[in-house]
Structure 1
């Protein structure tokens, strides 16, 4: 599948510029060779007004301040915030989820840390 040339040259703008651009044509990329939809699908950066906030359904999100739930919390936060394609991208074979998450927190950007803190504050507000 051929992908249209983006209106914004990838090398000429920062990721922040691309995300906030109002250009009609959006940057796009092909899926990895071997992906089962690589011949029929591609990914495109959405315009800001067309982005969505995911609402997680199912069991309650674990809290980071409850010791027995911290491994589950670590596992889920890595899945949500660390880019990955396989489990080995999230943690090493003999590594605990908590160890991998602690390592990730030292390398992720401030925006992710702020989101993690806000999630915890939401839990604490529900307690009061």
Structure 2
């Protein structure tokens, strides 16, 4: 799967995040609920240093609640300067790069399986997705039970989009063929 520099950095930051909650969610779900804060400020440091009890105490205060913050692991290059924050509302991630292949094509089955595993199965290393002696298709079959019901709906919608585009293209070809037949029937 060809990725842009921005998307590969986002995935790296999602994977290296230290919070156990984020390590059990897939890349798609995490990126729809969280974003990377560009620079940590004093309120971020204060939020991270507070204990759970004081966070609960602050929950009773008036005003807009703080967005949850999640620090990166120490080995992350930006662990001391950046953090991940939770959106107030969920967002739909925009996928850059090549589209996810069709499910029903044999020639792209490996790419299809790799794309779905990468987006919809929780992972930290490639071996969490596919072992060295396994094809991506076999890995997908053995791990598809991990994919959430919500993610399956997204996958079904991706496939539906492919089918709509295919039907549109077939209809266009039919209209063009009919127009050519009509043009051939006209005597000059």
**TM-score, normalising length: structure 2:** 0.53
Aligned pairs, number: 113
Partner of 1:108: 147
More helix by share: 2
Mean alpha-carbon deviation: is it higher for 102-111 or for 70-79? 102-111
Query: 159, 162, 184: which one pairs with 1:123?
Result: 162
Whether the 8 Å CA contact 1:3–1:29 is kept in 2: the answer is no
Query: How big is the shift at 1:54?
Result: 2.8
Name structure 1 gaps, 5 residues minimum: 10-22
**How far did 1:99 drift?**
1.3
How large is the RMSD of aligned CA atoms in angstroms?
2.3
SS in 2 for 1:44: strand
Cα offset, 1:8, TM superposition: 7.2
Relative contact order, higher structure (CA 8 A, sep 6+):
2
1:41 maps to 2:82? yes
> Aligned partners of 2:103, 2:115: CA distance in 1, in Å?
11
* Matches for 1:11-26 after TM superposition, within 5 Å: 24-26=65-67
Kept in 1, the 8 Å contact 2:102–2:162? The answer is: yes
* Preserved contact between residue 121 and residue 146 of structure 2 (Cα < 8 Å): no
Q: How much does 1:75 deviate?
A: 0.5
Q: 1-side partners of 2:160 and 2:98: how far apart?
A: 18
Q: Which of 82, 92, 101 is the equivalent residue of 2:121? A: 82
Determine the C-alpha separation between the residues in 2 that align with 1:125 and 1:30. 42
Do the aligned partners of residues 31 and 124 (structure 1) sit closer, same or farther apart at CA in structure 2, a change above 3 Å counting?
Answer: same
Using the TM superposition, give the Cα deviation of residue 58 of structure 1 relative to its aligned residue in structure 2, in angstroms. 3.5
| 2:114 corresponds to 1:68 | no
- Structure 2: state its 5+ residue gaps: 1-39, 57-63, 168-188
> What TM-score results when the alignment is normalised by the length of structure 1?
0.75
CA distance in 1, matches of 2:106, 2:138: 14
From the CA coordinates, give the structure whose radius of gyration is larger: 2
